[in-house]
Structure 1
Amino acid sequence: MWALVQNRRIKKLVTLEVGQESTAALRISTDELIHESPSADSNGQIWVKTSGEADPIDPKNWSLLSRSKNIGILVLLIFTQGWAGAADSQANERASREFGVSRVAQNLSTAMYLFGIGSGSLFAGPLSESIGRNPTYLVSTFIYLLFVLGSALTPTFAGQVICRYFVGLFSSPTLSINGSSVGDQFRPVKRAFVFPMIAWANIAGPMISPIAGGWISSQPDLTWRWTEYITLIISTFAWIVALLFLPESYLPILLDWKSKQLRRQTGDQRYMSEHSRSSFFQRVKATILRPVIFFSTEPVIAVLGAYLILLYCILFTFLSGFDYIFKQTYNFSTGQTGSCFGAIAAGATIATFTAPALYTWARRKTQYERGASVPPEFRLWPAIVAGPFLPISLFWLGWTNYPSIPAWSGLIACGLFGAVLISIYISSYEYIIDSYGDHAASALASITMARYLVAGGMVMAARPMYEGIGVHWTMTILGGISILLAPMPFVFRIYGARLRKRSRYAESPSSGRGRISSPRA
């Protein structure tokens, strides 16, 4: 809906640029300039680009209020669709009884959601670059709503598993390209302030929904299906807000709209945009093998990807693990067990409040220069500081898990884990965005795909693991793995620049200055 407003604004902008000249006069003008224009090719086509640093079409030049509104809507979409992943996790026992399956089998509900995100994330980027961010968000979210409704109404276990897969599949665009939407609208320094909010929504959604799910499941007069109905209600609200107020933010799409308006108003068919040079299938063909290439040839992607995979495996195995960590150890009710996830959300929230400090630090690093780039290694500081606390939080949680030790000890450890999780998430994503430039979307897509696919597999292994070796050794194993990964952000802090020089895909950060524009464009 808001895209219609944007189209009208672009039409007015083009009318203003064209002025009162007649179509014939405009053709003469462009004919005179075409051979001198760096935007014109040998066929005489005029490639429409931004008209300078202050071009009002560029989302980075929109008002701060407008961009803040857009990020707020995006946070709402991410939060509600992340909520869907864990909403029914605390209803596992009641749902398994209704469907006549084991509780391990019922974990497929969460696993299939994660598999859906993992399989869909590879195509979300090329799709958003072909038709735009706005329709990708809106159409996929609408279909997602239909499958959430299907999950609530299905009478069979097979129906639930299928619906949950498609819930994840159609939430994958929202959960995988949101970083690109931030990059569309904010320059590198301001991303230090904005991206933590996006990261918070990605983590808080699946950690707050078990609180509601736990208390719903503990009410005898409510069925477990109300966990899906609540998801449907809040997600529908988020979709309506996005439908009404979320704009298109992908600059090549906006320039394509401008080129169409120029052709329409001037009658000159030589106006073209770079976006029209490739199709969706060409983009998919170019990117389909990159996840394998990135993980096999790029040490940064392999290591930071492994770090995020570990974190998400821990996060989603907690959906079953809290039954053993809190419910069995302290005889908590289902509602109380679900509420324990609030500790992770609280830790993530507290860590998010460091965003203003990171922004101020980044501003000083760039000496307050507008549009300046930030050294990628600067983004690693949150992970460098937080990394050692990951094994500490896991060992703390595992080896204080006794009835004689108050549950508050475990909850504080969970809060520390939440703070570590969001710190490493922010560092990894921003470091990759700054390091890989135009290839960042492919790099992030590869990590997102691997992260959710492996986490989905771990969800299925969670209950047998906690039952087989217990809470203490489960946390010890995970903590031991995290020790191996903890020094890696510091290693990249030292050797990151050298690794980028050897990479085929990494690039030096640029300020984004010096775009060339065509006449009239």
Structure 2
Amino acid sequence: MSVAAAFHDTFFAYALRLAFGSRFFPHPDEKELPAVWKSKHPAQTSPRDSDPLTLIDVPSPDVRSVASETTVIANTPAKTDPEKGQDTLLVDWYGPTDPDNPQNWSSGKKAWVMFQTCLLTFAVYLGSAIYTAGITGVTSEFHVSNVAALVGLTTFVAGYGLGPMVWAPLSEVPQIGRMPIYIFTLVMFVVLQVPTALATNYGMLMAFRFLTGFFGSPILATGGATIADIYAPKKRAYGMTLWGLFATCAPSLGPLVGGFAAHVEGWRWTIWEILWLSGATLVLLFFFFPETSAANILYRRAKRLRKLTGNPSIKSASEIAAAAMTPRDVAVDILVRPFALNFQEPIVLVLNIYIGLIYALLYIWFESFPIVFIGIYHWREQMLGLSFLGIFVGVFIVIPPFFAYLHYVQEPKYNDNGELKPEERMPIAIVGAFIVPVCLFWFGWTSRASVHWIVPIMGSSLFGMAALLLFNAVLNYLADAYPTYAASVLAGNDFIRSMFGAGFPLFAGAMYRNLGVGWASTLLALLSCAFIPIPILLYKYGERVRMASKRARHDYD
């Protein structure tokens, strides 16, 4: 990947082009036009006489003439729309190897984008769990109960559950794209950490915790859509796995990262740590994170070509579709669609509730760790974060065999177009579904003074394995089944799991104290057992349900 390619189409490049024009990081189609297009009124030149898109000094693009808003005629002369009285030239990729197409980027550039996506995901998810290390300090400074202090965790989680319902649909608007949403919200996320760390009362702290969660949220749902932008379905599961690795590890590392700082400097230092990490991430993304939305890239290409040729009939597919939409339609798409997909699509609703349950179990279960490792094993409070490393290790243990499964078992099932039936994602989810109750039973009944502390930690590693397998299978299933609405569907998934994760920890401590670690963990294990049939039924009957949906994709061979 060249230096120019590293900066191309980033927010930094946008800013330079806005200030100084196209001489900075120019696109190939911004080369000098032939003389025929430099006339005073180039728009009057008929595309039948000289096609503007084929005269540009770049490889010939794939241009299809649109005779109407519903009829596309490929590789034929342009035809006139009788209603508009003009030709419409549809701009597409410059052939199958177009370097602007994110799926044609080099492996190095894709890996660089993946790293930035994962880093941002890690920074935001870390912001939820790192707060728990300072709960004792919050209770003593603001004179509130432990449950009230824990609301700082739940408001943050609620914020990043609600946020994608707004930000994810906006990222699908071709005129906006994904990258500006990431940069704008990350700027707000970083700035709002300052009043959070300087909060002078309990209410102020809770309000800013919610706002930071809300503005930090886009990557938690749209990150999956970004990965789908740059990787073909056959390789997307690998990217989703790495993304899931960072998403799973951040909550388990949060108490460890914040524990020592909170013990020595107080709870406010946990917020300053988030500021430092997210601030460094913002600088990196500002200079190096490119736009990945194909719709946005083609929209901006069409704008450039109209400017270069003076031909107003040159349009992208998204512009043609938008012309038929009213402002009300746009508002409904942005604000209503994520909720509609979530509650009107049975597959989406069931999978979201299941993943929400797993997410809730994770946050409930975290509340048992102080009871076990401080109360039973008498660890010092600042050492508590080390007890979460079992989950972290479990994630890494499961990745090699999972990648082997993807390569040797799943990849041969792809069709000639590089596509896989969504239901083929479910076998690995079935495995993960059985691991969850085993983990909870193991942890609950080995957490006693007569058993060495390493044994429950070994049991906790199973949850890291299960979470990675389940999240990967479900998120890939949703992206495969609803590719047109990937960001909105994943936003709905984030919304449901975050609402579960926000509410359940509030009663977790009381449940573990009243029932005991063994029986409370058994209750959670039995609840997870009740949901095991979901991936099994989807594997067997999911295609039938999907074919009955108007929004799901049907054309898998």
Q: TM-score, normalised by structure 1?
A: 0.91
> Residue 139 of structure 1: which of 165, 184, 188 is its match?
184
Instruction: Work out whether residues 120 and 173 of structure 1, in 8 Å CA contact, stay in contact via their aligned partners in 2.
Output: yes
Deviation string 1:376-425 (CA, Å, 9 cap, x unpaired) is 12222221222111111111111222111111111011100111011100
1:63 and 2:109 are equivalent in the alignment: no
Match of 1:405 in 2: 451
For residues 47-446 of structure 1, the aligned pairs below 5 Å read 47-130=90-173, 131-219=176-264, 222-276=265-319, 277=322, 282-286=329-333, 288-354=335-401, 356-361=403-408, 362-366=410-414, 372-446=418-492
Task: Using the TM superposition, give the Cα deviation of residue 170 of structure 1 relative to its aligned residue in structure 2, in angstroms.
Answer: 0.4
Instruction: Work out whether residues 96 and 106 of structure 1, in 8 Å CA contact, stay in contact via their aligned partners in 2.
Output: yes
Structure 1 pair 315/437, CA: closer, same or farther in 2 (3 Å)? same
Instruction: Work out whether residues 323 and 337 of structure 1, in 8 Å CA contact, stay in contact via their aligned partners in 2.
Output: yes
Deviation string 1:271-292 (CA, Å, 9 cap, x unpaired) is 2223341699744412544455
Task: Using the TM superposition, give the Cα deviation of residue 159 of structure 1 relative to its aligned residue in structure 2, in angstroms.
Answer: 1.0
Structure with a larger share of its residues in helix: 1
Residues in 2 aligned to 1:13 and 1:466: alpha-carbon distance in whole angstroms: 62
Deviation string 1:215-270 (CA, Å, 9 cap, x unpaired) is 22333xx1221111111111111111011100011111111111111111111122
Residues in 2 aligned to 1:157 and 1:4: alpha-carbon distance in whole angstroms: 38
SS at match of 1:504: coil
Match of 1:516 in 2: none
Letter in 2 for 1:22: W
SS at match of 2:217: helix
RMSD over equivalenced CA pairs, Å: 2.5
Residues in 1 aligned to 2:330 and 2:368: alpha-carbon distance in whole angstroms: 40
Deviation string 1:481-521 (CA, Å, 9 cap, x unpaired) is 1111123212211112111111222113569xxxxxxxxxx
1:30 and 2:47 are equivalent in the alignment: yes
For residues 428-507 of structure 1, the aligned pairs below 5 Å read 428-507=474-553
Instruction: Work out whether residues 99 and 156 of structure 1, in 8 Å CA contact, stay in contact via their aligned partners in 2.
Output: yes
Q: Which moved more, 1:10-19 or 1:84-93?
A: 10-19
Structure 1 pair 238/358, CA: closer, same or farther in 2 (3 Å)? farther
Instruction: Work out whether residues 82 and 205 of structure 1, in 8 Å CA contact, stay in contact via their aligned partners in 2.
Output: yes
Residues in 2 aligned to 1:472 and 1:117: alpha-carbon distance in whole angstroms: 32
Residues in 2 aligned to 1:15 and 1:422: alpha-carbon distance in whole angstroms: 44
Task: Using the TM superposition, give the Cα deviation of residue 142 of structure 1 relative to its aligned residue in structure 2, in angstroms.
Answer: 0.7
SS at match of 1:272: strand
Task: Using the TM superposition, give the Cα deviation of residue 365 of structure 1 relative to its aligned residue in structure 2, in angstroms.
Answer: 2.6
Match of 2:28 in 1: 13
Structure 1 pair 183/466, CA: closer, same or farther in 2 (3 Å)? same
Q: Which moved more, 1:244-253 or 1:357-366?
A: 357-366
What 5-or-longer segments of structure 2 have no aligned partner?
1-6, 52-62, 69-80
Structure 1 pair 70/292, CA: closer, same or farther in 2 (3 Å)? closer
Residues in 1 aligned to 2:154 and 2:381: alpha-carbon distance in whole angstroms: 21
Residues in 1 aligned to 2:178 and 2:34: alpha-carbon distance in whole angstroms: 31
Residues in 1 aligned to 2:129 and 2:484: alpha-carbon distance in whole angstroms: 33
Residues in 2 aligned to 1:486 and 1:186: alpha-carbon distance in whole angstroms: 30
Structure 1 pair 432/388, CA: closer, same or farther in 2 (3 Å)? same
Aligned residues: 506
SS at match of 1:326: helix
Greater Cα radius of gyration, structure 1 or 2:
2
Letter in 2 for 1:490: I
Instruction: Work out whether residues 294 and 443 of structure 1, in 8 Å CA contact, stay in contact via their aligned partners in 2.
Output: yes
Deviation string 1:33-88 (CA, Å, 9 cap, x unpaired) is 88x94335423232322233222221111111111111111111111111111112
Structure 1 pair 349/364, CA: closer, same or farther in 2 (3 Å)? same
Q: TM-score, normalised by structure 2?
A: 0.85
Instruction: Work out whether residues 78 and 175 of structure 1, in 8 Å CA contact, stay in contact via their aligned partners in 2.
Output: yes
Letter in 2 for 1:345: F
Instruction: Work out whether residues 172 and 487 of structure 2, in 8 Å CA contact, stay in contact via their aligned partners in 1.
Output: no
Instruction: Work out whether residues 365 and 374 of structure 1, in 8 Å CA contact, stay in contact via their aligned partners in 2.
Output: yes
Deviation string 1:434-479 (CA, Å, 9 cap, x unpaired) is 1122133332222211110121111222222222322222211111
Structure 1 pair 498/139, CA: closer, same or farther in 2 (3 Å)? same
Residues in 2 aligned to 1:397 and 1:509: alpha-carbon distance in whole angstroms: 44
Structure 1 pair 282/236, CA: closer, same or farther in 2 (3 Å)? farther
Letter in 2 for 1:13: P
Task: Using the TM superposition, give the Cα deviation of residue 426 of structure 1 relative to its aligned residue in structure 2, in angstroms.
Answer: 0.3
Structure 1 pair 66/376, CA: closer, same or farther in 2 (3 Å)? same
Task: Using the TM superposition, give the Cα deviation of residue 428 of structure 1 relative to its aligned residue in structure 2, in angstroms.
Answer: 0.3
Q: Which moved more, 1:66-75 or 1:454-463?
A: 454-463
Task: Using the TM superposition, give the Cα deviation of residue 102 of structure 1 relative to its aligned residue in structure 2, in angstroms.
Answer: 0.6
Runs of 4+ in 1 over 6 A off after TM superposition: none
Task: Using the TM superposition, give the Cα deviation of residue 303 of structure 1 relative to its aligned residue in structure 2, in angstroms.
Answer: 2.2
Structure 1 pair 21/409, CA: closer, same or farther in 2 (3 Å)? farther
Letter in 1 for 2:258: G
Structure 1 pair 402/491, CA: closer, same or farther in 2 (3 Å)? same
